[in-house]
Structure 1
């Protein structure tokens, strides 16, 4: 594993590079309030075994990347009524961060896989930096904050009181994913506890997720931009996702010409281990990596 910092303007983005240097380049972009740790090591190992070189990173306002603490903690009312006034940045800025990571690791282009907010960033990268994206995979995401709106219980789970210590952070992670995770598949609660604890130590900042949410709401609808995306595109979504409902995935696939949509029954807003082989197989087929020649 190689760790590093990507820099552009006044932003520093922490990243990790996994796998052989000569693998097919694949950039993983994580979701709201989450750190690079939330891409499971075993999931990354399966991608590497497939033939990829993998980079995962902390978005701004998460983990060891730059935090916009000076911008404060927007209230729920502000997020709902005037997100443009309280958002210190937009998804285009977060896509520029992703492009800076590609620069830092020396990749002119890469296959890009984004989950949740990461899917929105990946979409924005494909729109704004089309020459950098070989293929686009958008997982449990949406092209607009107005499409696939969360069920009330899912939103409430995210709004629970922040943890005040590492063990509390681990338990909070478990509680959140009991609500938003996949109803058909077992929740890996020990892994969730471990990720929550490690994330607390690496960079605990509950307000960072609020600022990222403000960026989502202030960035509007991407469907017109996605209509111009010409790279092979895959959309993966859980039919039982309570946080970004499956209509978000359907709308993403409908917006990108030729996109393939795969909907998994019983999958919520997480990456269930039993589905990893199928998901990675879909990514391999999209990219042509690890696919036997005929």
Structure 2
């Protein structure tokens, strides 16, 4: 896996997880700078089959109809595999736990890590993502995480654009995770608009620094 890190390693570690085949540069350098300016150590990376990380070019095309029905036998790898990849990156970096920030499918990966590896997650920020519930705009092959999300006990921030067609996925995520905070941005779609970088970074930093306080 290819990764980059920015800022002071002594600051709280924030792992940025992008979705789909999007490269880590979809977390723009300017946005990363906003996080660094707020006292955060930022790490971004390319998922498998994205950017400069390993590409599985010989993988067969999955049977999406079968996956929709719950048969994942034709799928070369799953969301759980991508979550394990991400935890493996933390291992390589010697980071026991981190603050996870995921956008779109990256939010789904972050949720999966919080479910399966709760000790590795200090806080969770889910942006433009969903719970996997088929009634709120999910990707069928990844399954419904709603019941497991209801068991989470981690400081959580959910952000979504009001102009994103999948906004109900964001609302469902916030409703499922106990004590989570939901922030909806008017005019924002399924992206990270430059004019909101500072605001979004501010919300993330507020969550992170609050989670870092001794209980």
TM-score of the aligned structures, taking structure 1 as reference length: 0.67
Which position in structure 1 is the counterpart of 2:186? 265
Alignment length, in residue pairs?
211
Separation in 2 of the partners of 1:119 and 1:267?
17
For residues 210-268 of structure 1, what are the alpha-carbon distances to aligned partners after superposition, in whole Å with 9 as ceiling and x for unaligned?
xxxxxx532200111111111100000011113xx110001100110000001111110
Aligned-partner SS, 1:136: strand
Gaps of 5+ in 1: 1-12, 151-215
Separation in 1 of the partners of 2:66 and 2:49?
18
Structure number with the bigger relative contact order (C-alpha 8 A, sep ≥ 6) is 1
Name which of 161, 170, 176 aligns with 1:249: 170
Separation in 1 of the partners of 2:64 and 2:81?
22
Structure index of larger Rg:
1
User: How far off its partner does 1:74 sit?
Assistant: 3.6
Which runs of structure 2 are paired with 1:116-135 in the superposition (5 Å)?
116-135=104-123
Which runs of structure 2 are paired with 1:138-149 in the superposition (5 Å)?
138-144=126-132, 146-149=134-137
Verify the 8 A CA contact 1:84 1:217 in the aligned structure 2.
Answer: no
Gaps of 5+ in 2: none
Verify the 8 A CA contact 1:145 1:220 in the aligned structure 2.
Answer: yes
Name which of 89, 94, 106 aligns with 2:77: 89
Separation in 2 of the partners of 1:128 and 1:76?
25
Separation in 2 of the partners of 1:25 and 1:86?
36
Separation in 2 of the partners of 1:253 and 1:58?
26
Aligned-partner SS, 1:44: helix
Sort the Cα spacing of 1:230 and 1:81 in 2 relative to 1 into closer, same or farther, 3 A. closer
Which position in structure 2 is the counterpart of 1:170? none
Separation in 2 of the partners of 1:130 and 1:59?
20
Q: How large is the Cα RMSD of the aligned pairs?
A: 2.0
Name which of 59, 79, 88 aligns with 2:47: 59
